Amino acid sequence: MEINIGLNSVQTEQVSSKKTSLYKAIWRWHFYGGMIFAPILILLAVTGSIYLFRPYVEPMLDRDLHFVQQGTKELTPSLQLKAVKDKYPNDSISSFTDVKDPKRSTEIGIMKGEASYTVFVNPYTGKVLGELQNDKRLMEIIVKLHGEIMVGKLGDNLVELSASWAIILLATGLYLYFPRNKQSFLSILRIRMRKGSRVFWRDLHANTGFWMTIFLIVLVLSGLPWASSFGERLNTFVTKAKLSNAPEHLWDGSIQSTKINKDVAKTPWAAENIPVPESVYSNKGMLPIENVVKIAEQTKIYPGYTISMPEGDKGVYLISTYGWAAGSVKNYVTMDIDQYSGKTLLDYRWKDYSTFDKTVETGIALHEGRYFGWANLIINLIACLSLVLIVGSGITMWWKRRPTGTVGIPKASEGNKFYLGVLLISVICGLLMPMVGISIFVIGLIEFIVKFIKKIVQQPGMQ
Q: What is the pLDDT of residues 65-79, one digit of tens each?
A: 999 999 999 999 999
Q: What is the pLDDT of residues 15-52, one digit of tens each?
A: 455 567 778 878 888 898 899 999 999 999 999 999 99
Q: Which helix (H) or strand (E) holds 435?
A: helix 434-458
Q: Flag the least confident range among 198-212, 226-240, 253-267, 426-440.
A: 426-440
CB neighbour list of residue 175: distance below 8 Å, 6 or more residues apart: 26
pLDDT beyond 90 at 182? no
pLDDT beyond 80 at 205? yes
CA distance 282 to 341: 8
CA distance 340 to 317: 10
Strand 115-121 relative to strand 106-112, pairing: antiparallel
Domain extents in the chain: 244-353, 412-463
Q: What is the pLDDT of residues 104-138, one digit of tens each?
A: 999 999 999 999 999 999 999 999 999 999 999 99
CA distance 55 to 143: 13
CA 323 to chain centre: 13
Residue closest to 272 by CA, chosen among 211, 323, 208, 207: 323
pLDDT beyond 90 at 430? no
Q: Which amino acid is at 339?
A: Q
Q: Give the pLDDT of residue 231.
A: 82
Q: What is the pLDDT of residues 371-410, one digit of tens each?
A: 999 999 999 999 999 999 999 999 999 888 887 777 777 7
Please tell me whether the overall predicted TM-score, pTM, comes out greater than 0.85 for this model: yes
Q: Give the pLDDT of residue 417.
A: 58
Q: Give the pLDDT of residue 79.
A: 98
